[in-house]
């Protein structure tokens, strides 16, 4: 039997590239997607399903988990309808797009699946550069989270959280995606819009900047861009 990896897959460039890395390493993928009230929920779900098709992930190993409580918590531009997604670029503060402890919650649920499938590996496409101050996208957070989930799993089942992109720049991720023949045209990174990427939110800016520095043209359409 192939070794199994639980892959947290939003359908963005980073998580999709992470899924390709896992497959390239010989893992049998269990794909995990979250609908948490984000403003691009429908597009991300469509993208998740498309990427699963491309990677030939079995239907029974595709998990779409609803987490509606994030909208009740609010306080993030991704989940609170009263907060606009910023389009003025990044600053030195934690962005208003930070969803409180989202990755911690995602990884906890991924751990439950890892126990079910007797998997010792969870892949998540966190990127320090992408975090731009997100406290749950750092090496320290991942290390501590790994210790925490193993305390709550069992002593015979040590799980490793794989973060192959955490130290990469967006430029480097684009190169990795190209080398792995990632279905870039099927990925979605925009925080704001679902039909055409806005081109001006933080996530679009980081993605466009990465493609520009890597010397490639992005394969998705944008409404506008100043990069």
Q: What is the dihedral sign for C-alpha 134, 37, 184, 64?
A: positive
Residue 55 CA to residue 38 CA, distance in Å, equals 24
Q: Under 8 Å CB-to-CB from 53, ≥6 apart: which residues?
A: none
Angle, alpha carbons 61-66-68 (nearest 5°): 170
Q: What is the pTM of this model?
A: 0.95
Going residue by residue through the chain (227 aa), what tens digit of pLDDT does each one get?
579 999 999 999 999 999 999 999 999 999 999 999 999 999 999 999 999 999 999 999 999 999 999 999 999 999 999 999 999 877 778 899 999 999 999 999 999 999 999 999 999 999 987 545 789 999 999 999 999 999 987 757 799 999 999 999 999 999 999 999 999 999 999 999 999 999 999 999 999 999 999 999 999 999 987 66
List the structure tokens of 9. 């897959």
| pLDDT tens track for 17-73 | 999 999 999 999 999 999 999 999 999 999 999 999 999 999 999 999 999 999 999
Segments making up each domain of the chain, as ranges: 4-168
Residue 112 CA to residue 205 CA, distance in Å, equals 34
Q: What is the dihedral sign for C-alpha 103, 126, 186, 31?
A: negative
Residue 177 CA to residue 166 CA, distance in Å, equals 15
Indicate the CATH number of 4-168 among 3.40.640.10, 3.40.630.30, 3.20.20.70, 3.40.50.620: 3.40.50.620
The pLDDT score that the predictor gives to residue 227 is 63
Helix (H, G, I), strand (E, B) or coil at 23: helix
Q: Under 8 Å CB-to-CB from 173, ≥6 apart: which residues?
A: 13, 14, 17, 127, 165, 210
Q: Under 8 Å CB-to-CB from 32, ≥6 apart: which residues?
A: 6, 7, 8, 9, 63, 65, 106, 109, 110, 113
Q: How many residues does the chain have?
A: 227
């Amino acid at each position: 039997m192939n070794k199994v990896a639980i892959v947290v897959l939003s359908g963005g460039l980073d998580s999709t590239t992470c899924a390709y890395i896992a497959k390239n390493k010989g893992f049998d993928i269990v794909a995990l997607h979250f609908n948490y009230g984000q403003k691009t929920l429908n597009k991300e779900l469509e993208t998740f399903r498309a990427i699963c098709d491309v990677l030939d992930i079995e239907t029974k190993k595709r998990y779409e988990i609803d987490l509606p409580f994030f909208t009740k918590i609010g306080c993030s531009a991704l989940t609170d309808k009263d907060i606009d997604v910023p389009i003025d670029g990044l600053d030195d503060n934690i962005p208003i797009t930070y969803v409180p402890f989202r990755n911690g919650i995602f990884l906890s649920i991924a751990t439950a699946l890892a126990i079910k499938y007797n998997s010792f590996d969870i892949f998540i496409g966190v990127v320090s550069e992408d975090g731009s101050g997100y406290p749950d996208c750092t090496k320290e957070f991942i290390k501590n989270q790994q210790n925490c989930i193993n305390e709550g799993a069992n002593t015979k089942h040590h799980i490793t959280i794989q973060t192959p992109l955490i130290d990469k720049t967006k430029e480097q991720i684009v190169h990795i995606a190209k080398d792995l023949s990632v279905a870039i045209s099927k990925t979605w990174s925009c925080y704001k819009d679902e039909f055409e990427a806005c081109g001006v939110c933080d996530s679009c800016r980081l993605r466009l900047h990465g493609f520009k520095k890597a010397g490639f043209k992005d394969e998705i359409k944008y409404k506008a861009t100043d990069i």
